[in-house]
Amino acid sequence: MAEVACHQVCQARVRAICSVDKSRRGISGQRSRTRTVRTTPLPRYNVCMVRTLSGIQPTGNLHIGNYLGALVNWVKLQEEYDAYFCVVDMHALTQRPDPEVLRQAVRELAIGVLASGVDPERATLFVQSQVPQHAELAWVMMCLTPLGDLNRMTQFKDKSTQQPDNINAGLFTYPVLQTADIALYRPEAVPVGEDQDQHLELARETIRRFNFTYGGDVFPEPKTVKSLAPRVMGLDGESKMSKSKNNEIGLFETEAETWKKLKGAKTDPARERRSDPGTPEVCNIYSYHGFFSTDEQRAELAEGCRKATLGCVDCKKMLGTNMESVKGPIRERAADLRSKPGELDQILAAGAEKARRTAEETMVMVRDRIGLAGGK
């Protein structure tokens, strides 16, 4: 009886999400004109759990910025959502990586996701290129995205600066593929860091434009789920943690490798000598303690910093020890997965199969609404 009640409540919620107010205004602000719209039945999925989708690009070794900004969040999301997590290898093509390097990076990223606690029994983990519907929907969405919207994307300017000899069209249309990644699984919530807010808003606008043009019950408009660490600064304290800027702490690095990097990391500039009092709130190293240390340890460090009873080396040593208590078990689980390549292949194959089924359900609806072959 409880299952029936749950199903009825969830069905009502989904109908509410997907229903269309006939008098609502469209993208242009005008009342929607009379049109004949197909009413393809929506595919059924696990309606008693809100669906979410998130992806991560295999462009280098995982670091604690990835772990804190995405993977910690993913582990929590899989308990609360019908979660789809994707290794977005097609996005990585904008950097023209060596094919073998890309294949290995995909596997290492998948290993890192699993070693960090994502459970393939609770979440769907897959590789983007194994689901061809991503590229198909990206073209549909590209035809609905005004050039002006893409011109306003600040990340295109940033990425063009980083690779001035390879400013390709993929860098410019990257947000449209990201829109397709999201829309394909019809999620109601999308976890993002602060640097992705602009892309998610573009996705929402494009989804609204599709629904207005072809019928308003195809795609739900996803809401943002903020990460606990939307932006993790690098060891230089000046920019976001990134392997390309050589300011990262690798997730798989040993305790000795981590300590070598921490020793030279930037701290409070006011503490030139150990006897100089400091302000922990402006210290980049102290900000990491917010994720790896207890409340008591942070209070002790803050007081020691202000009174100059603890030095920056003391602060860094405690951080290194606490980081290792998190990274050590992850490194061990990753080593175990590397020793069982067949098991990783099976996990990714099963995830891709499920993702393709879900994606094809969406594309049948899309093709039907826009008039392409392959709809119902």
For the stretch 131-151, pLDDT in tens is 999 999 999 999 999 998 888
pLDDT digits (tens, 9 = 90+) for 216-236: 789 999 988 876 666 789 999
Mean pLDDT of 34-49: 45
Rg over CA atoms, the chain: 23
| 61-68 mean pLDDT | 92
Q: Which of 22, 157, 159, 354 does the annotation list as catalytic?
A: 159
Integer angstrom CA distances of residue 255 from 258, 260, 318, 320: 5, 9, 12, 7
Q: Which residue has the higher pLDDT, 321 or 4?
A: 321
Distance (Å, whole) CA 237 – CA 269: 11
Q: How many CB atoms lie within 10 A of CB 25?
A: 11
β-strands 123-127, 82-87 pairing: parallel
Q: Is 260 a catalytic residue?
A: no
pLDDT on residue 195: 66
240 is catalytic: yes
Given 22, 157, 226, 243, which residue is catalytic? 243
Beta bridge partners of 84: 53, 124
Residue range 48-232+341-370, CATH number: 3.40.50.620
The mean pLDDT of 249-278, rounded to a whole number, is 93
Q: Which residue in 227, 232, 301, 221 sits closest to 268, CA to CA?
A: 301
Of residues 22, 76, 223, 240, which has the active-site annotation?
Answer: 240
| Number of residues written out for the chain | 376
- pTM for this structure? 0.83
| Whole-number Å distance between alpha carbons of 302 and 279 | 8
To the query of whether residue 159 is one of the catalytic residues in this protein, the response is yes
pLDDT given at position 3: 38
- Domain limits of the chain? 48-232+341-370, 252-337
Q: Which CATH superfamily hosts domain 252-337?
A: Tyrosyl-Transfer RNA Synthetase (1.10.240.10)
As a whole number, the mean pLDDT across the chain is 85
What's the pLDDT band for 4 if we cut at 50, 70, 90?
very low
Asked whether this chain's domains 48-232+341-370 and 252-337 adopt the same fold, the reply is no
Q: What is the pLDDT of residue 194?
A: 66
